[in-house]
Amino acid sequence: MALIVQKYGGTSVGTIDRIRNVAARVKRTRDEGNQVAAVVSAMSGITDKLIGMAKEFGENPSEREMDVLLATGEQQSIALVSLALHELGVPALSVTGRQAGITTTGSHTRGRIDAIDPQFMKRSLEAGNALVVAGFQGITPDGLIHTLGRGGSDLTAIAVAAAVGADVCQILTDVDGVYTCDPRIVPNARKLPEISYDEMLELASSGAKVMQSRSVEFAKKYGVVFEVRSSLNDNPGTMVLEEHPDMENVVIRGVSIERSQARVTITGIPDEPGMSAKILCALGDAEINIDMIISNIASDGMARHSFTMHSNDLGKAQAALKPVLAEISGESKIETEAGIAKLSCVGIGMRSHSGVAATMFKALGEAGINIGMISTSEIKIAVTVDETRIEDAARAVHDAFELDKAPA
Amino acid sequence: MALIVQKYGGTSVGTIDRIRNVAARVKRTRDEGNQVAAVVSAMSGITDKLIGMAKEFGENPSEREMDVLLATGEQQSIALVSLALHELGVPALSVTGRQAGITTTGSHTRGRIDAIDPQFMKRSLEAGNALVVAGFQGITPDGLIHTLGRGGSDLTAIAVAAAVGADVCQILTDVDGVYTCDPRIVPNARKLPEISYDEMLELASSGAKVMQSRSVEFAKKYGVVFEVRSSLNDNPGTMVLEEHPDMENVVIRGVSIERSQARVTITGIPDEPGMSAKILCALGDAEINIDMIISNIASDGMARHSFTMHSNDLGKAQAALKPVLAEISGESKIETEAGIAKLSCVGIGMRSHSGVAATMFKALGEAGINIGMISTSEIKIAVTVDETRIEDAARAVHDAFELDKAPA
């Protein structure tokens, strides 16, 4: 008998009929001889509706009160899914974030899970119940309701799995698993049977929409094996786990793309300590996430920094940089470029294989695609290209590494 | 500076605009130099919508899960009212039943307040906040969410007022106060400036819709002075408090009516100990509330019991009584009458004045209205009449006691 945590997103519980489907799946999993704790999100649409009501009272509603308001969405779901399980004759209990023993830190609406006391859940599972746990929420040490922000329900599922000692955590979603690339762009993309935490992390931070980085990090930290699979069918999905020797011996696991990027280049910066920090702090203070960072010294002996960000942030970035550059030097200039996209190749095999960058750049070159910036990590090579060519670029690189073919 | 608890029902927070009105009223009360804790219900309609969703999964949903589901209604209200207060520049905090320290006993969906630990509320008030407290909810000693059933928000308000030591508890509702009779029936009914707990209790249990008995009982037990007043205007309402010597020296405080009553009479019961108990237990087990009870001995030496109940319960009562009567005696028979209504005259002055019944019966007789059953308490005389004549009866009795005139 295995102990399985299943996570169902807002679409999966979006209507009465879909809630019935969730209940049927939980029952099936139990009938196969397993214990089940289902972590559920709010019914799709509810959260947006509540946010809409809150915004009637001002554009920046108190985050403490937003937590109180938004946590009701999941609380409704857990009660309804429990009732649907009762209808099928399954003993089921709803479990709020508080009852799940989830304590949090961080600011309101963006909580981080600090600890879980799983006693209530363990006792209730041992008593023969299916549990239906509210995703996305916990309580602060002061006893206030605290939500976990975007992707919070995935995080809850991983954390609950760690706390109750689950054998596996199934993330049930609207995709079949993790693919070598988005199948809407690369039609011969292949579903991966397994992928390592590190690869999943790099893909998540490179635009793959399946899961947020922090949930993957949490799973890696606590060794929670999880599976990304479809809530609509019973096909096996993709197992995400620590890398192991039997893992498919490939160089590149997958390719991801991220659109709507922009580049900012600052020239004419004195080559002195602390200059980069000043620039990056100004962007951080303006809450701009920057992604690729490249620095070097130009022929005039001055430093030159380039970074990428979402193109929506470009105006904000220019405004934030203006006073800093005025302070640094009369020589420094900002140059910007929007309309670019990022292509990333990810794979733990890169560590032991050479020539990956060469293969990638050759494929892009043969497709007539110009490379802008390049940045690398131990298991990733990322480049920027013109946004109009990003799909061609993805297909060319996917082909070059023969990602459509299962490795021998 | 006074500490005022205000209770707003579901209609008062039923739309965004009405929530704004509630916030404005709380602000006005604070601007007059008071501390305020507002107890709010769920937005009108939400509770019924949630019940409707739950019933999709069966007619008798788990009451534990209904509590989890329904408590979200008030949780949404407290957040939204707090945000509306912030919009007006008022520092405000939402307070769930749990944060209010309300612990409960009793079965799910019908909780009773057992105790309140007001520390969090007291601290938050002292810090200068307006509090917005969720009505209708608390937690069980096991930490489960527990709702208080019908009228639960009034009960919360009274209990919060007792716990924080409020100077007054204002029950803001869609009526202006407590009247000598329902003004829709008796157009010259007069709003009472004050009424004693005992009178309010008798009126509540006699069909006056303003408040449920248990909230009044709670207020009496803890000496909470409360005021029933309109949420739509600033008119003074009716103060409900312990009787005192200066209270208007009147015989009858008010007249209430209750429609859709039915009478069940059982004849031919052996005049032996335990017979009445058997009959009443059978009705109690069937969850039928009986109201007036009259027993006497008929000319044949057998006992004869009559009682009234809501006419909706008549069929259930006959079914419940059948086996009991078969067991008691072959002689016993059930006779039923629907289409009756109850008229009650209530007043603490009855204790010291004689002739009240005579005045009441004379008025009914002159109006040509036949009296069915009669029952009395220390401060109430109740009679049943044909339902078609109940409004005439109310007007005749109201006139006979000159309740439209303020006492000298």
Query: Over the stretch B355-369, which tens digit does the pLDDT of each residue have?
Result: 899 999 999 999 999
B78 CB-near residues (< 8 Å, 6+ apart) = A68, B40, B94, B95, B96, B132, B133, B134
Q: Is 80 exceeded by the pLDDT of residue B329?
A: no
Backbone angles phi, psi at A233, to 5 degrees: -145, 180
Q: Domain boundary residue among B149, B173, B197?
A: B173
Residue B203 lies inside a defined structural domain of this protein: no
Using a CB-CB cut-off of 8 Å, the residues of chain A touching B54 are: 79-80, 83
**Cβ contacts (< 8 Å) between A71 and chain B: which residues?**
75
Rounded to the nearest angstrom, the minimum Cα separation between A82 and chain B is: 7
Rg from Cα positions in chain A: 23
pLDDT score, position A250: 84
Decide if pLDDT at B408 tops 80: no
- One domain for residues A297 and A149: no
DSSP H stretches of helix in B38-118: 46-55, 63-87
| Interface contacts (A, B; CB < 8 Å) | 99
A158 and A283 belong to one structural domain? no
pLDDT on residue B275 = 84
Give B256-309 pLDDT, tens digit per residue.
999 999 999 998 888 888 888 888 899 989 888 888 988 888 888 888 889 999
CA separation for the pair B185, B194 (Å, rounded): 21
Nearest Cα to B37, choosing from B66, B78, B69, B86? B78
CA A397 to chain centre: 23
Buried b / exposed e along B65-97 (16+ C-beta atoms within 10 A): bbbbbbbbbbbbbbbbbbbbbbbbebebbbbbb
Residue A306 and residue A165 in one domain = no
CA dihedral angle for residue B391, residue B396, residue B401, residue B403, rounded to 10 degrees: 50
Interface with B, mutate which of A13, A16, A72 (most B CBs under 10 A): A72
**Residue B32 forms part of a structural domain:** yes
The pLDDT value recorded for residue A359 is 94
pLDDT of residue B370: 95
d(CA A287, CA A290): 9
d(CA A243, CA A249): 11
- Binding-site residues on chain A for chain B (CB distance < 8 A): 16, 20, 50, 53-54, 56-58, 61-62, 64-66, 68-69, 71-72, 75-76, 78-80, 82-84, 86-87, 93-94, 96, 98-99, 120, 143-145
Let me know whether B260 and B395 are in one domain: yes
Shared domain for A160 and A259, answered yes or no, is no
- CATH at residue A161: 3.40.1160.10
Cα separation, A165 vs B326, whole angstroms: 60
Contact A51, B24 (CB under 8 A): no
* Mean pLDDT to the nearest integer, A308-320: 92
Q: Residue A216: what pLDDT?
A: 94
Q: Which residue is closest to B20 within chain A, CA to CA? A: A57
Residue listed under structure tokens 């519980």: A13
Enumerate long-range contacts of B51-56, CB under 8 Å, 24 or more apart. Answer: B53/A16, B53/A80, B54/A79, B54/A80, B54/A83, B56/A16
Q: State whether A83 and B62 contact (CB < 8 Å).
A: yes
Phi, psi angle pair for A212, to nearest 5°: -80, 150
Cβ A169 vs Cβ A39: under 8 Å: no
Number of domains in chain B: 2
User: Does residue B330 register a pLDDT over 80?
Assistant: no
Q: Are residues A260 and A165 in the same domain?
A: no
Please report the pLDDT score of residue B174 as a whole number: 84
Secondary structure class of A40 (helix, strand, coil)? strand
Query: Which structure tokens are listed for B101?
Result: 């320290």
| Residue A342, domain CATH | 3.30.2130.10
Residues B139 and B287 in one domain: no
DSSP type of residue B349? G
**What tokens appear for A290 in the block?**
């920057």
Which of A13, A80, A139 to substitute to test the interface with B, most B CBs within 10 Å? A80
Report, as an integer, the average pLDDT of A366-378. Answer: 93
Contact check, Cβ <8 Å, A83/B71: no
The SS3 of residue B98 is: coil
User: What pLDDT does A354 receive?
Assistant: 85
Domain containing B63 equals 3-173
Query: Would you place residue A303 in the very low, low, confident or very high pLDDT band (cuts 50, 70, 90)?
Result: confident
Q: What is the pLDDT of residue A73?
A: 97
Q: Which two tokens mark A121?
A: 């859940």
Residue B138's closest CA among B118, B164, B168, B166? B118
Nearest to A68 among B69, B94, B145 (CB): B94
**Rounded Cα gap, residues A285 and B98, in angstroms:** 37
Residue A351 covered by a domain: yes
For B65, which of A65, A66, A83 is closest by C-beta distance?
Answer: A83
- Of A173, A205, A237, the position where a domain reaches its end is A173
Confidence of residue A197 (pLDDT cuts 50, 70, 90): very high
Asked if A15 and A159 sit in the same domain, the reply is: yes
CA distance A383 to A373: 6
User: Which of B86, B99, B144 lies at the smallest CB-CB distance from A143?
Assistant: B99
Tell me which chain A residues have a C-beta less than 8 angstroms from the C-beta of B56.
16
Q: Is the CB of A62 less than 8 angstroms away from the CB of B68?
A: no
Q: What number of helices (H) and strands (E) belong to chain B?
A: 11, 18
Q: Which of A33-42, A89-98, B70-79, B227-236 shows the lowest per-residue confidence on average (mean pLDDT)?
A: B227-236
Q: Are strands B137-139 and B145-147 parallel, antiparallel or unpaired?
A: antiparallel
Domain closes at, from A147, A173, A199: A173
Q: Chain A residues with CB inside 8 Å of B83's CB? A: 54, 57-58, 61-62, 65, 69
8 Å CB contact between B96 and B139: no
- For residue B52, count CB atoms less than 10 angstroms from its CB and return exposed for 0-12, middle for 13-18, buried for 19 or more: exposed
Interchain contact, B65 vs A50, CB within 8 Å: no
How far off is chain B from A287, nearest CA to CA, in Å?
25
- Are B294 and B265 spatial neighbours (Cβ–Cβ below 8 Å)? no
Closest CA to A70 of A104, A43, A39: A43
- Mean pLDDT in residue range A299-326: 89
pLDDT per position as a tens digit, A100-143? 999 999 999 999 999 999 999 999 999 999 999 999 999 999 99
Strands B238-241 and B194-196: parallel
Q: Which of A50, A78, A144 sits opposite B68 (nearest CB)?
A: A78
Tell me, yes or no, whether A247 lies in a domain: no
Please, what is the angle between helix B63-87 and helix B16-31, to 10°? 60
pLDDT for B87 beyond 80: yes
> What is the biggest distance separating any 2 CA atoms in chain B, rounded to whole angstroms?
77
What the block records as the tokens of A232 is 């609509």
- What pTM value is reported for the model? 0.87
Residues of A in contact with B143 (CB under 8 A): 98-99, 120
Note whether A384 and A342 are within 8 A (CB): yes
Cα A82 from Cα A38, distance rounded (Å)? 10
How many Å apart are CA B229 and CA B176, to the nearest integer? 5
What is the tens place of the pLDDT at every residue in B7-18?
A: 999 999 999 999
Q: Which of B66, B80, B96 to mutate: most A Cβ within 10 Å?
A: B80
Would you say residue A146 has pLDDT above 90? yes
Question: Do residues B33 and B140 share a domain?
Answer: yes
Residue B208 belongs to a domain:
no
The CA distance from B257 to B398, in Å, is 12
Q: What is the mean pLDDT of chain B?
A: 93
Mutate to test the interface with A, among B72, B75, B88 (most CBs of A within 10 A): B72
> Which among B307, B302, B301 has a CA at the least distance from the CA of B320?
B307
Q: Nearest CA of chain B to the CA of A83: how many Å? A: 6
pLDDT the model gives residue B343 = 96
Closest-CA residue of chain B to A59: B87
Nearest CA to A93 out of A162, A41, A37 is that of A37
The answer to the question of residue B247 being in a domain is no
> Same domain for A264 and A163?
no
* B371-400 confidence digits (pLDDT tens): 999 999 899 999 999 999 999 999 999 999
- A266/A126 same-domain check: no
CB contacts of A78 in chain B (<8 Å) are: 68
Q: What is the dihedral of CA B353, B197, B174, B118, to 10 degrees?
A: 170
Confidence at residue A255, expressed as pLDDT on a 0 to 100 scale: 95
Strands A145-147 and A137-139: antiparallel
Beta-carbon contacts of B385 under 8 Å, excluding residues fewer than 6 positions away, are B340, B341, B343, B364, B369, B370, B371, B372, B393
Mutate to test the interface with A, among B27, B46, B69 (most CBs of A within 10 A): B69
Share of chain B above pLDDT 90, in %: 76
Minimal C-alpha gap between B25 and chain A (Å): 16
Judge contact between A286 and A306, C-beta under 8 A.
no
B143 and B266 share a domain? no
- What average pLDDT does the structure give for chain A? 93
Test B87 with A58 for CB contact under 8 angstroms: yes
Q: Residue A227: inside a domain, yes or no? A: no
Of residues A302 and A66, the one with the higher pLDDT is A66
Three-state DSSP at A260 gives strand
Contact criterion met (CB below 8 Å) for B13 and B23: no
DSSP class per residue in B264-318: EEEEEE-S-TTHHHHHHHHHHHTTPPP--EEEEE-TTS-EEEEEEEEGGGHHHHH
**Residue B407's pLDDT band (cuts 50, 70, 90):** confident
Taking residues A307-329, report their average pLDDT: 90
Strongest mean pLDDT among A168-172, A328-332, B228-232: A168-172
pLDDT tens-digit readout, B176-212? 899 999 999 999 999 999 999 999 999 887 767 778 8
Sheet holding A226-230, edge to edge: A92-95, A130-134, A35-40, A3-8, A168-173, A226-230, A238-241, A194-196
Q: Does some domain include residue A405?
A: no
